[in-house]
Amino acid sequence: MSSLSRDLFIKNRLGLHARAAIKLVELAQSFEATITISNGIKTATADSVMGLLMLESAQGQRVVVSAEGHDAATALAAVSELIEAGFDEEN
C-alpha cells in the first residue's frame, strides 16, 4: 500500500471555508484512499467537513496533503488539482 504526500498552498481568497471544504470532502469520498490534510499544527481527514474547517487554513497558508491506499496517486492528484485551482472559485 503506497503513501504519498504533496506540499500545497491555499490560493483562494476565503481559504478553506465551508463551501471549499464540502467540495474537498465530496472529492475525497470518491476515492478509497485515506486522504489527510495538515497545516503543520493540526491534521484532519479530507472526508470530514468539520475537521477541515478546524484547520482554519487561510489564503497563502501551506498545507500537506497525504494519501494512503491503492488509489493514493490518483486521489492525491485530484485533491491537489482542486486546491491548486482555488476550489474553482474566483480569487
CA 22/CA 68 separation, integer angstroms: 21
CA 29/CA 11 separation, integer angstroms: 22
Domain span at residue 28? 3-88
Q: How many domains does the chain have?
A: 1
pLDDT band at 22 (very low <50, low <70, confident <90, very high): very high
CATH code of the domain containing 37: 3.30.1340.10
Put simply, whether the predicted model's pTM sits higher than 0.85 gets the answer yes
Contact 35, 46 (CB under 8 A): yes
Single out the residue of 17, 7, 6 nearest to residue 89, CA to CA.
17
Q: Among the options 6, 11, 17, 23, which is catalytic? A: 17
Q: 70 an active-site residue? A: no
Which pLDDT tens digit goes with each residue over 24-71? 999 999 999 999 999 999 999 999 999 999 999 999 999 999 999 999
pLDDT for the residue 90: 74
Q: Where are the beta strands (DSSP E) in the chain?
A: 3-9, 34-38, 43-45, 62-68
**8 beta partners:** 63
